[in-house]
Amino acid sequence: MLVGGEHVLVDPDLRRPYETDWTGAYKGRAAAVVRPGNTAEVAAIARLGMPLVPQGGNTGLVGGSVPDDTGTAVVLSTLRLRELGAVNTSSAQVTVGAGVTLGALQAHARASGLDVGVDLAARDSATIGGMVATNAGGTRVLRYGTMRHQLVGVEAVLASGEVISHLGGLEKDNTGYDLAGLLCGSEGTLAVITRVRIKLVPVYPHRVTALLAFEDLSSAVTGLARLRTVAGLDAAEYMVRRGIDLVRSTFGVPEPFRREHPAYLLVEASGAVDPTAELAAAISTLDVLDVAVASSAKDRERLWALRELHTEALTRAGPPHKYDVSVPLDRVAPFVAEVLEAVDSPSRTCHHFGHLGDGNVHLNVLGDLADELIFGIVNRYEGSISAEHGIGRLKQPWLHLSRSASELAVFASIKAALDPIGMLNPGVLLS
């Protein structure tokens, strides 16, 4: 037996949680669910040659970790690959199993005075393996980059069942193609990631948050260029009047300044020394309409609430259609203007906010779907139809808007090279 019997789930009731995605939009059917306990078991499963759907915490938003409805695929759950290696404080690195949740890794790293560079809301379910496979982003990309930038090594099982392992944690290592980087973001289509080596970041004792008001989004983009010199800048989130109005009317929170302003930038910095003076000095060179600086935890939370309540306010007003897109930073303002012009109508309202530091705009449409309209505009602005969520099954039909035919042909040739029979996550990412 490849895997202990209790870890091969064939009963429909036991299978179900693994067959349905987090959003509820994708319900598939698996031949079985297997939960291997180590890399050798993953390799043995791969050698069966059956279609495999690798699944971590199943928190994805694009249908990339559940099977289709043919019942032919095996869901390979990584949740038992829970090894937590010792934190190496010299190199600030750790090796963990693919099934370790972000929350568990954060707790493990913090016990050694370190932290994970990527953070996101699904931390208690999302697994590190899944986050690597989808190159997860989150709220601190501005400072630390996406998962690809935390990754210093990977162990994975190929479609052939062969294991590749490069977990030495060398930050300088020019010995051939960057396989770890290639698997990162490949959404389980090239290999099953079993272990990863992750670079950790310091935990900083000092933190400061500021809310800046601008006369328009374009001024906020210009302002951000100057704020980038603040070495400890962690986040730069933008909001606009329409969103603030919705949050205020939904939750009755107070207007942040005495006057209403058209656009807001929420910035946060942290450091081993207090970054308040440095941030204030950078802000003083900007053309802002109003500023609030918060150093206490309570004041900082109050400022963040404005941004974080957007999601809940939109859910109550909707549910909204969510579009996670990015465009070149200097085109964010005209892009958003064009989207609003095209999408807003008596039957539809478009809200937007986002991680301005990365050009990542979260469009939330209340009312009718606007896929074709929005992805078409993204395409004209040389943007990405998926900034952080990935392609999965959901966005596969639109991938040609962000990638040329030549690029798609290269994707297909790499896929064929690593997975000639197309057994890994069929139907996901590639057509």
Residue 100 or 429 with smaller CB distance to its own copies: 429
The dihedral sign for the CA sequence 425, 426, 427, 430: positive
Residue 65 or 360 with smaller CB distance to its own copies: 360
C-alpha to C-alpha distance for 189 and 179, rounded to whole angstroms? 13
Whether 32 contacts 23, CB under 8 Å: no
C-alpha to C-alpha distance for 230 and 207, rounded to whole angstroms? 13
Among left, alpha and beta (phi > 0; psi -120 to 50; other), residue 113 is: left
Residue 256 or 275 with smaller CB distance to its own copies: 275
Please report, for residues 139, 180, 240, 286, 311, the alpha-carbon distance to residue 142 in angstroms, rounded to integers and kept in the order given.
8, 21, 20, 20, 21
Answer yes or no whether residue 257 interacts with its own copies by CB under 8 A: no
Q: Which of residues 315-334 bind its own copies (CB under 8 A)?
A: 326-330
Q: Which of 1, 13, 24, 174 binds its own copies (CB under 8 A)?
A: 174
26: which residues sit within 8 A by CB, 6+ positions away? 20, 63, 66, 393, 394
Answer yes or no whether residue 431 interacts with its own copies by CB under 8 A: no
Q: Which of 14, 25, 48, 281 binds its own copies (CB under 8 A)?
A: 281
Residue 279 or 294 with smaller CB distance to its own copies: 279
Least distance from its own copies to the Cβ atom of residue 316, Å? 27
Token duo for residue 131: 């986050």
Residue 250 or 379 with smaller CB distance to its own copies: 379
Answer yes or no whether residue 379 interacts with its own copies by CB under 8 A: no
Answer yes or no whether residue 409 interacts with its own copies by CB under 8 A: yes
Q: State the CB neighbour count (10 A cutoff) for residue 83.
A: 15
Least distance from its own copies to the Cβ atom of residue 56, Å? 16
Q: Which helix (H) or strand (E) holds 367?
A: strand 360-367
Answer yes or no whether residue 394 interacts with its own copies by CB under 8 A: no
Answer yes or no whether residue 285 interacts with its own copies by CB under 8 A: no
Least distance from its own copies to the Cβ atom of residue 69, Å? 25
C-alpha to C-alpha distance for 100 and 96, rounded to whole angstroms? 7
Residue 239 or 429 with smaller CB distance to its own copies: 429
Residue 43 or 313 with smaller CB distance to its own copies: 43
Answer yes or no whether residue 360 interacts with its own copies by CB under 8 A: yes
Beta-bridge partners for 250:
none
127: which residues sit within 8 A by CB, 6+ positions away? 56, 57, 78, 79, 98, 99, 100, 101, 102
Whether 16 contacts 387, CB under 8 Å: no
Answer yes or no whether residue 407 interacts with its own copies by CB under 8 A: yes
Residue 5 or 176 with smaller CB distance to its own copies: 176
Q: Which of residues 68-107 bind its own copies (CB under 8 A)?
A: 88-92
Q: State the CB neighbour count (10 A cutoff) for residue 137.
A: 22
Q: Which of 6, 259, 346, 406 binds its own copies (CB under 8 A)?
A: 406
C-alpha to C-alpha distance for 393 and 307, rounded to whole angstroms? 29
Q: Which of 12, 202, 334, 376 binds its own copies (CB under 8 A)?
A: 202
Q: Which of residues 104-163 bind its own copies (CB under 8 A)?
A: 134-135, 137, 141, 145-146, 148-149, 158, 162-163
User: Considering only 73-81, 225-233, 244-252, 304-312, which stretch makes contact with its own copies by CB under 8 A?
Assistant: 225-233
Answer yes or no whether residue 6 interacts with its own copies by CB under 8 A: no
Least distance from its own copies to the Cβ atom of residue 121, Å? 16
Residue 225 or 297 with smaller CB distance to its own copies: 225
Least distance from its own copies to the Cβ atom of residue 358, Å? 4
What secondary structure letter does DSSP report for 50? -
Answer yes or no whether residue 384 interacts with its own copies by CB under 8 A: yes
Whether 192 contacts 46, CB under 8 Å: yes
Beta-bridge partners for 351:
364
Nearest to 325 by CA among 13, 62, 41, 2: 62
Token duo for residue 68: 């289709």
103: which residues sit within 8 A by CB, 6+ positions away? 123, 124
Q: Which of residues 16-75 bind its own copies (CB under 8 A)?
A: none
Q: Which of 37, 85, 103, 169 binds its own copies (CB under 8 A)?
A: 169
User: Considering only 102-110, 228-236, 242-250, 342-350, which stretch makes contact with its own copies by CB under 8 A?
Assistant: 228-236
Count of chain residues binding its own copies (CB under 8 A): 90
What is the Cβ-side half-sphere exposure of residue 359, based on CA atoms within 13 angstroms? Answer: 17
